[in-house]
Structure formats: C-alpha cells, structure tokens
Amino acid sequence: MYGLQGRVALVTGGGGGIGRAIASRLAEEGCAVGILDRDAAGAEQTAALVRAAGVPAAVAVGGVERPEDVTRAVAALTVALGAVDILVNNAGILRTAPFLETSAETWRETLAVNLDGTFHVCHAALPQMVARRRGAIVNMSSWTGKKGVPNHSAYSASKFAIIGLTQSLAGEMAAHGIRVNAVCPGIIVDTQMRTEAEELNRRQGLPDVEARAKGIPLRRPGYPQDIARVVAFLVSDEADYMTGQAVNITGGLWMS
C-alpha cells in the first residue's frame, strides 16, 4: 500500500475498463474518488465499487472534449469531495483505419477527446493544486504514442502529443510541487474501447489480439489492473522524484 489515505483523486473515463480499475485501486489505497464520464450508469457502478472500499465517491457526467462540462464537473466534484490531489486523465477513444480512409471528422474527434480533453481537465484542476503547492497528475498515453503504427494515425498522433504535453507540464509545474507523468499501455484487453477496436480490426482483416499477443515478450496482453498498479505508484510519495516520464506498461512489446 502506498499511503494515499485522505487524498482526493479525479479519474476521467472512470466508468469502465482501465478507468474503473484505476478508480478502484485508488479507493483501496484510501483515496476519495471523483469520476467524470459520459456514461452515467457506468460511472455510478464505479462509484459503488469505490464506496464499497470504505471511501467517498462522487460522479459527474460529461465529455472531457467539452470545456464547459469539465469546468462544471471539476467544480462539483471539488464541492463533494474536496480539492483534487490526484488527477488521472484516462478518458480516451480509439479509432483504427487506414490513413486515406480516416475522415477529418474522425481525426478531429480523436484529438478532441484524447488531447483536448487532457488539456481541458488539467486546465480546470491545476489551479487548486498550484494554490496548495502539491499534486500528482498521470496522463494516459500509449505505446503507439512512442511508435506510430499503421491504421492508428489519429490515435498515435494524439498519444504522441500527450507525452509532449506531459513533459511540458512537468517542467512548468515542478516549481509548484506538482508532478506530471504519463503511462503508455500496450495491448490491453477487457475494455470496451479494446472490444470496439478489435471489431474494427476484424473488419479490416487485421490480426486479432491473440495473434498479436504472441509477439509480446511476456506472452500475454495486459489487463486494466496492470495499468492501475503503476498509476497508484506514480501518484504516491514513493514516486516523489519522478516527473516528466512516460512509463511503458507493455509486457516488453515496446522498450524505449
């Protein structure tokens, strides 16, 4: 355990998948957890898991791509739980297609949720961290944010950009006692986003997750809990000399 009792965490995209695993793990560590998600029912289910761990939870419904939703959500969750100590920018979407079949609409939607959403939530939550001179942020990138892969142009572009944003914020916010890191998952299963992506891959004749897992040195795909464990470490005092990092969680699929 990392001694996070009494801290307040905000997890975007916490209504399922990786976000739910992160929220649950932070609750086990003693954090009160605010959940921002477009899926009200999923967010409430996650909140129930958080409360079952014996800590408070609160839900705000909205899309991170809409700054008005984010401003309202951060204000409401702060009233409900207190000032945010930990921010996990997990909300994201994945669309796969050959580049010439990627529409401008898909491109804009992907960057709006993945990149603009991270910007909006940081912009809303950071002032209270700066005022109190403490905080930890983890942004969700991807191994495809370090290596561009075919059929992922919009997604990879958004995830590369998140690493750049993470590094810039880390350098700027260190003087305020705030650490900013990113995590870069590999092939993660048991999430709605992955299920949707696998269906798109099937339609395009691309290899399924089982076939791709054979190329992972640890010989398995990742699970949401694999990501949650690393996030819990990064937001804890055990990682208090880490900032500006983009940590691979890929089973060895990507090593730089």
Share of the chain above pLDDT 90, in %: 86
pLDDT at residue 203, rounded to an integer: 64
Burial 201-224 (b: 16+ CB within 10 A, else e): beeeeeeeeeeebeebeeeebbeb
Query: In the predicted model, is pLDDT for residue 186 greater than 80?
Result: yes
pLDDT at residue 198, rounded to an integer: 62
Task: Report the alpha-carbon distance of residue 114 to residue 134 in Å, rounded.
Answer: 25
Q: Topology of domain 8-248, per CATH? A: Rossmann fold (3.40.50)
Question: What pTM was computed for the model?
Answer: 0.94
pLDDT at residue 240, rounded to an integer: 97
Strands 32-37, 135-140: parallel, antiparallel or unpaired by DSSP? unpaired
Task: Report the alpha-carbon distance of residue 249 to residue 256 in Å, rounded.
Answer: 11
pLDDT at residue 5, rounded to an integer: 96
Domain limits, the chain: 8-248
pLDDT at residue 213, rounded to an integer: 79
pLDDT digits (tens, 9 = 90+) for 125-170: 999 999 999 999 999 999 999 999 999 999 999 999 999 999 999 9
pLDDT digits (tens, 9 = 90+) for 69-102: 999 999 999 999 999 999 999 999 999 899 999 9
Secondary structure (DSSP) of 79-130? HHH-S-SEEEE---------GGG--HHHHHHHHIIIIIHHHHHHHHHHHHHH
Residue 38 to residues 29, 35, 247: CA-CA distances in angstroms? 25, 10, 27
* Residues known to be catalytic: 155
* Residue among 93, 102, 92, 104 nearest 204 (CA): 102
Mean pLDDT across the chain: 94
Count of residues making up the chain: 256
* Residue among 147, 171, 155, 140 nearest 244 (CA): 171
Token pair of 8 as six digits = 């307040």
Backbone angles phi, psi at 108, to 5 degrees: -65, -40
pLDDT at residue 65, rounded to an integer: 98
Q: Using an 8 Å Cβ cutoff, are 137 and 87 in contact?
A: yes
Secondary structure (DSSP) of 55-87? S-EEEEE--TT-HHHHHHHHHHHHHHH-S-SEE
Residues 6+ apart with CB under 8 A from 92: 13, 113, 114, 117, 140, 158, 193
Residues 6+ apart with CB under 8 A from 66: 120
